[in-house]
Chain A
């Protein structure tokens, strides 16, 4: 196998408060190949977003990288200086966020915000950059881009703003696009269009995607491999097809079974949804041993005491459970 584009090795992210230091993320390792779409799924607070921020060098107090390696194309970048990060961000690794309105500058026309990428990273002149910004808007299928480049973000709809974000992110042809809940703020029919667009553009340019979402369905349809995070750790990682056909971790299984399946009621009548009991633990109250143990249906004594190691599964997969059967 050729070297992966991104390799995260034993990542640890610390949350420092006045009274204590917690590990918001620990033992997180995964690889993303060139042009591959990789999904990171989990509920709010599980650490998926800060894992993504660490790859962008955007962790700020009270969060800090506390250990592990981030290797981009064979080069360790976890200790890069702010100046080095600025050269990486946008040029080689780019990110789009959940709420495009807060990620765009409200006081600057969108064309200028795209053109800035060419000026800053590729040394283009402003007039050339504006022409290229218009092309970039055309590529993300914004209608009449020659007029839209002069629009301010508030003049665009939510879907159009997210298209502008994608144009900015892909402007300099990054090797990796990180998408953090890119469609959560959008309506479902618009979400479908944005996902199609991201998939087409990244396939055409060979851009790898790290897709972060709470929506298993979205990630399963977009990504080849999926990792599931719970309370700061990856609990399972498999091919997207395999994870739905045979989930190995009780948490993954519980999540999948708790979703109402479209068409299921027509086939077999209304079945009671399977619940996962309890609540997501807060970072100050992570239980000892396996962090899912208070909610797990298969819990035994060892789960309450010993944190399970990762067991390898076929095709670079893993499961972190004492009873992965």
Chain B
């Protein structure tokens, strides 16, 4: 087995909120014991609702937030022992909003050349060549290099964001909702581009998305997060064809899929909303919303145990047979 590119072992990122003077200090467990790995060239889909900790996890992997406990290793080396610059050459990020994540006062050339200069490429001709090459790779014309972000459409801006993430030739790219801010008719272009670049450059991705259609399309493996913990992980087939955690089933059932009717199997629905991470429910965090809730779910935290090798689910009832995604809704 290839050595994982990224390995997380019981990683936790906690924040303290409030103050002693104003009602006491509380601990917000944004990421609460996540064990996960990403192999070279693999695409891991990371799914969950707002507030589940996926963005905090992304920032920790980028080296932008220190872990509270646990270990985070890049290519076998603990991230604490690797300097920030080296981390940046290995992991890069594509952001959700291409309008907010580009500097409006920098041309495309500057946006792409700065990382090279910062990382010690001094030869002007080389910088020029790598910028032109990267622009061509993401489908921009090299003569557009002296334009500013406002001169581009949303889809083109996301191409610039992708070029910026790839210019240092990283091995892992975290894509945080890369298409959800784009027009529907543009999304397929960007998804196809990301998949082409992955094959061409041998990249690994962590694809953070709430759009399960996109996740199923691009991912090799999928991890589902809920209130700071991973509740299920497995290959894309296992997650979509045999989901064992009721939350995974609820997410799949909730997608408004035009090709399947809205009639959703009643036992697949989640009730209510995600609880506050400041005050998560005891036992299984999902129990207040769960259609399968029993007393044990309130008392005991279910372990993330295997259903089969590589397919893990944190549910006391993980051995109840799963339902394929398409069977949760009858076809149109």
Q: Which residues of A contact B (CB under 8 A)?
A: 43-44, 157-160, 187-193, 195, 214-218, 220-222, 241, 244-245, 251, 254-256, 258-266, 270, 272-277, 279-280, 295
Q: Which of B49, B186, B188 contacts A279 (CB 8 A)?
A: B186
Binary contact readout B252-268 vs A (1 if CB under 8 angstroms, 0 otherwise): 11111111111010000
Q: Report the count of interface residues on B (CB-CB < 8 A).
A: 50
Sample (16) of A-B pairs whose CB atoms are under 8 Å apart: A43-B185, A44-B183, A158-B273, A189-B289, A191-B256, A192-B256, A244-B259, A260-B216, A262-B240, A263-B324, A263-B326, A264-B217, A272-B192, A272-B195, A275-B188, A295-B185
| B217 partner residues in chain A, CB cutoff 8 A | 260, 264-265, 270, 273
Q: Which of B70-78, B130-138, B207-215 contacts A (4 or more CB under 8 A)?
A: B207-215
Is the Cβ of A260 less than 8 Å from the Cβ of B214?
A: yes
Q: Nearest Cβ in chain B — how far from A199, in angstroms?
A: 8
Is the Cβ of B258 less than 8 Å from the Cβ of A192?
A: no
Cα–Cα distance between A262 and B261 once the two chains are bound (Å): 13
Binary contact readout B285-309 vs A (1 if CB under 8 angstroms, 0 otherwise): 0000100000000000000000000
Is the Cβ of A258 less than 8 Å from the Cβ of B153?
A: no
Query: Could you tell me the dominant secondary structure of chain B's interface residues?
Result: helix
Is the Cβ of B237 less than 8 Å from the Cβ of A262?
A: no
Known contacts A266-B237, A266-B324; 10 additional CB pairs below 8 A are A160-B273, A192-B253, A214-B183, A218-B256, A220-B256, A244-B259, A259-B258, A261-B213, A263-B240, A274-B188
Q: Compute the total of residue contacts between A and B using a CB distance below 8 Å.
A: 138
Q: Which residue of A lies closest to B260 (CB)?
A: A262
Is the Cβ of B185 less than 8 Å from the Cβ of A189?
A: no
Query: Could you tell me the dominant secondary structure of chain A's interface residues?
Result: helix
B2 at the A/B interface (Cβ < 8 Å)?
Answer: no
| A272 partner residues in chain B, CB cutoff 8 A | 192, 195
Q: Which of B214, B257, B264 contacts A217 (CB 8 A)?
A: B257
Is the Cβ of B212 less than 8 Å from the Cβ of A217?
A: no
| B332 partner residues in chain A, CB cutoff 8 A | 241, 244-245
Is the Cβ of A192 less than 8 Å from the Cβ of B254?
A: yes
Is the Cβ of B184 less than 8 Å from the Cβ of A192?
A: no
Q: Nearest Cβ in chain A — how far from B99, in angstroms?
A: 12
| A220 partner residues in chain B, CB cutoff 8 A | 256, 258
Q: Nearest Cβ in chain B — how far from A27, in angstroms?
A: 21
Cα–Cα distance between A241 and B241 once the two chains are bound (Å): 25
| B250 partner residues in chain A, CB cutoff 8 A | 189
Is the Cβ of B210 less than 8 Å from the Cβ of A188?
A: yes
| B271 partner residues in chain A, CB cutoff 8 A | 193
| B183 partner residues in chain A, CB cutoff 8 A | 43-44, 214, 279-280
Cα–Cα distance between A160 and B259 once the two chains are bound (Å): 29
Q: Which residue of A lies closest to B269 (CB)?
A: A192
Is the Cβ of A187 less than 8 Å from the Cβ of B191?
A: no
Q: Nearest Cβ in chain B — how far from A108, in angstroms?
A: 23
Say whether, besides A218-B256, A265-B236, A276 and B50 are in contact (CB < 8 Å). no
B28 at the A/B interface (Cβ < 8 Å)?
Answer: no
Please provide the chain B residues from 1 to 56 with a CB less than 8 Å away from any CB of chain A in the complex: 49-50
Q: Nearest Cβ in chain A — how far from B16, in angstroms?
A: 22
Please provide the chain B residues from 240 to 256 with a CB less than 8 Å away from any CB of chain A in the complex: 240-241, 250-256
Q: Which residue of A lies closest to B187 (CB)?
A: A258
Q: Which residue of B lies closest to A216 (CB)?
A: B258
| A241 partner residues in chain B, CB cutoff 8 A | 332
Binary contact readout B170-195 vs A (1 if CB under 8 angstroms, 0 otherwise): 00000000000001111111011001
Q: Which of B192, B216, B258 contacts A275 (CB 8 A)?
A: B192
Is the Cβ of A279 less than 8 Å from the Cβ of B155?
A: yes
B274 at the A/B interface (Cβ < 8 Å)?
Answer: yes
Binary contact readout B320-332 vs A (1 if CB under 8 angstroms, 0 otherwise): 0000111000001
